[in-house]
């Protein structure tokens, strides 16, 4: 097997090549086993139509996905986590939602060659997603818009490294007032919960985050309280450095970029500075970019050279001051 091309920044490296083949066969890459604190990725979705970023379909996708379980399990530290974002699938030429994504999840946690379990599921809602599946939403108008993705948090044991105190949301205005007054109506509620007199009077710096990510505001009259650590840049943001530079260079950005807000949330939630973060299907390498900014070491893989070039654009951001440089053979 030919040696892969490697690009390095101050804290990480981007490897150009097929991640699964390299993780199984390349001796240097194999040294990562047992050292990765967080694998966070958005693998190619199980779509019915082929996309330019590459994706399997149907049974082939399921078999490919299940084979990832032992590879990822071997890479993780004992307290490490695996976070996967995946969209819904639909049956070919039918207005029927497929169970393929669920079969993929079951395949991960039931694979006898690994020891993964689902810690928690998150939902990522993005109202800017184009209407899909188009045939059944905009043409025949039989279904509603598929506007969310699943985010699965898995691990090798029941207690992976995690601290929700690092991803707190700002307090609501009513909670801020309560903390200021240091008094509220305690006692028994209709739900039969008993609220103590001082249970809500301690200022913890914010409220515990929810497992629902609102990538854009649903209700314009309601305040959205994102965790302090989340950089809120969605795939529709047109004013950040990466997209601006792509436009100038007439480069078409990767069509399925992972949200930097998601990456930041889980990186802060599940790792510490200096930990190792990996993305085996990195595209334009949002994961590596976020890890670099958050002072984590990182390793990313991308098989398509056009997307590697986009990652180089992302890392050329002057404020980052950590360009991706190709290592000489």
pLDDT score of 214: 77
Tokens of 168: 């707190």
Chain segment 82-113, per-residue pLDDT in tens: 999 998 888 888 999 989 999 999 999 999 99
Conformational region of residue 106, where left means phi above 0, alpha means psi within -120 to 50, and beta covers everything else? alpha
The domain tally of the chain equals 1
In a domain, 63, yes or no: yes
When pLDDT is cut at 50, 70 and 90, the band that residue 55 belongs to is very low
Contact, 68 vs 108, CB < 8 A? yes
Mean pLDDT of 172-185: 74
In a domain, 133, yes or no: yes
Beta strands in the chain (DSSP E): 5-8, 12-16, 36-41, 76-86, 117-125, 148-155, 187-188, 194-195, 212-214, 276-279, 297-302, 325-326
pLDDT score of 230: 58
pLDDT score of 236: 46
Does residue 229 register a pLDDT over 90? Answer: no
When pLDDT is cut at 50, 70 and 90, the band that residue 297 belongs to is very high
pLDDT score of 52: 46
In a domain, 189, yes or no: no
In a domain, 248, yes or no: yes
Contact, 66 vs 108, CB < 8 A? yes
Contact, 150 vs 101, CB < 8 A? yes
pTM to 2 decimal places: 0.88
Contact, 99 vs 145, CB < 8 A? no
Q: What is the CATH number of the domain that holds 252?
A: 3.40.50.150
Q: What is the mean pLDDT of the chain?
A: 85
In a domain, 246, yes or no: yes
Percent of all residues in the chain with a pLDDT value above 90, rounded to a whole number = 55
DSSP character at residue 90: B
In a domain, 194, yes or no: no
Range of the domain at 308: 5-170+206-320
């Amino acid at each position: 097997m030919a040696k892969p091309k490697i690009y390095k920044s101050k804290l990480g490296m981007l490897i150009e090549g097929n991640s699964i083949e390299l993780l199984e066969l390349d001796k240097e890459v194999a040294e990562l086993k047992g050292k990765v604190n967080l694998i966070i990725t958005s693998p190619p979705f199980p779509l019915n139509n082929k996309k330019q970023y590459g994706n399997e379909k149907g049974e082939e996708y399921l078999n490919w996905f299940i084979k990832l379980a032992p590879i990822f399990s071997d890479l993780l530290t004992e307290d490490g986590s695996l976070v996967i974002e995946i969209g819904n699938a639909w049956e070919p030429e039918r207005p029927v939602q497929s169970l393929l994504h669920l079969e993929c999840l079951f395949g991960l946690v039931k694979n006898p060659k690994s020891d993964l379990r689902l810690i928690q599921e998150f939902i990522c809602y993005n109202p800017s997603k184009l209407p899909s599946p188009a045939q059944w939403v905009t043409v025949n108008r039989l279904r509603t818009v598929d506007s969310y993705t699943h985010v699965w948090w898995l691990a090798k044991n029941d207690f992976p490294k995690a601290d929700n105190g690092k991803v707190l949301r700002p307090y609501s205005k009513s909670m801020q007032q309560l903390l200021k007054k240091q008094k509220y109506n305690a006692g028994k509620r209709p739900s039969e919960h008993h609220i103590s007199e001082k249970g809500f009077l301690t200022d913890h710096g914010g409220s515990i985050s929810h497992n629902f990510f609102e990538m854009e505001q649903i209700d314009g009259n309601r305040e959205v309280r994102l965790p302090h650590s989340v950089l809120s840049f969605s795939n529709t943001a047109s004013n950040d450095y990466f997209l601006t530079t792509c436009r100038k260079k007439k480069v078409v950005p990767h069509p399925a970029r992972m949200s930097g807000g998601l990456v930041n949330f889980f990186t802060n939630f599940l790792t510490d500075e200096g930990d190792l973060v990996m993305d085996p299907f990195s595209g334009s390498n949002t994961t590596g970019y976020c890890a670099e900014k958050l002072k984590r070491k990182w390793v990313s893989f991308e098989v398509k050279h056009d997307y590697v070039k986009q990652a180089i654009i992302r890392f050329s951001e002057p404020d980052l001051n950590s360009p991706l440089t190709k290592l000489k053979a």
